[in-house]
């Protein structure tokens, strides 16, 4: 097997391990190149779990995914305790630790001379989903205004015309305002003449002798 094919196998195994750790929500995943430090393995991968239960689940995920990818069954140490589990995958050794244990032993000082850049979930290119354009709402037909309607709108209304054409009343001081008082017409009363009966003449008395 040539060096190029060996490197490809190491990179493929590294990718399988990192993906299996991400599937179980591992924290602070880091990989380091250890070719110049040890002849037994070429990569060291360190990851954190928040509890014994999660570290065990992470180790089981790495073991199953590596085996299913055709790299053989890895060896595991520390699975009973769960604070620090080592998964030996041959050319890649995985240290799954709780945060406090990792901070205490600080394996980065031993193996962290040459960090390897990883493409984690946030760095992976996301598939572009083409969205179908939404149908545009039907446009309302613009109302066509004819010349007549435009003229009607621009022309003043009837009450405006009445106001502008109405003559202002003449003042009382102007000669036209003076009116000649016409004599009041008295109603004619017909006089009814009543014929009085003639007075009866008394008989003349004879003169005395």
How confident is the prediction for the chain on average, in pLDDT? 76
pLDDT band for position 52 (cuts 50, 70, 90): very high
82 assigned to some structural domain: yes
139 assigned to some structural domain: no
159 assigned to some structural domain: no
46 assigned to some structural domain: yes
148 assigned to some structural domain: no
Q: Which of 5-14, 52-61, 86-95 comes out lowest in average pLDDT?
A: 5-14
Domain that holds residue 61: 3-116
CATH number at 98 reads 3.30.460.10
Largest CA distance in the chain: 209
Backbone φ/ψ region at 78: left (φ over 0), alpha (ψ -120 to 50), beta: left
pLDDT digits (tens, 9 = 90+) for 131-190: 566 666 666 555 555 555 555 554 544 444 444 444 444 444 444 444 444 555 555 555
Tell me the backbone φ, ψ of residue 195, rounded to 5 degrees: -75, 115
Nearest to 17 by CA among 45, 39, 53: 45
Q: Say how many domains are in the chain.
A: 1
What is the C-alpha to C-alpha distance for residues 120 and 25, in angstroms, rounded to an integer?
11
Whether 90 and 75 have beta carbons less than 8 Å apart is answered as: no
pLDDT of residue 15: 95
33 assigned to some structural domain: yes
pLDDT exceeds cutoff 60 at 108: yes
161 assigned to some structural domain: no
pLDDT exceeds cutoff 80 at 45: yes
147 assigned to some structural domain: no
Q: Does this model's pTM top 0.75?
A: no
């Amino acid at each position: 097997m040539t060096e190029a094919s060996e490197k490809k196998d190491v990179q493929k195994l590294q990718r399988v391990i990192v993906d299996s750790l991400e599937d179980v929500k591992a924290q602070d995943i880091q990989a380091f190149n250890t070719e110049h430090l040890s002849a037994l393995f070429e990569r060291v991968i360190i990851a954190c779990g928040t509890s014994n239960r999660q570290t065990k689940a992470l180790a089981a995920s790495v073991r199953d995914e590596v085996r299913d990818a055709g790299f053989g069954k890895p060896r595991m140490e520390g699975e009973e305790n769960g604070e620090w589990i080592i998964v030996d995958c041959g050319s890649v050794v995985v240290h799954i630790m709780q945060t406090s244990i990792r901070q205490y032993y600080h394996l980065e000082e031993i193996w962290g001379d040459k960090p390897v850049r990883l493409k984690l979930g946030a760095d992976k290119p996301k598939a572009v989903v083409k969205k179908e354009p939404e149908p545009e709402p039907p446009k309302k037909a613009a109302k066509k205004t004819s010349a007549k309607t435009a003229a009607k709108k621009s022309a003043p209304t009837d009450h405006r015309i009445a106001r502008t054409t109405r003559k202002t009343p003449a003042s009382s001081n102007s000669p036209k305002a003076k009116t000649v008082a016409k004599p009041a017409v008295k109603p004619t009363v017909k006089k009814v003449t009543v014929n009085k009966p003639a007075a009866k003449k008394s008989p003349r008395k004879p003169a005395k002798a």
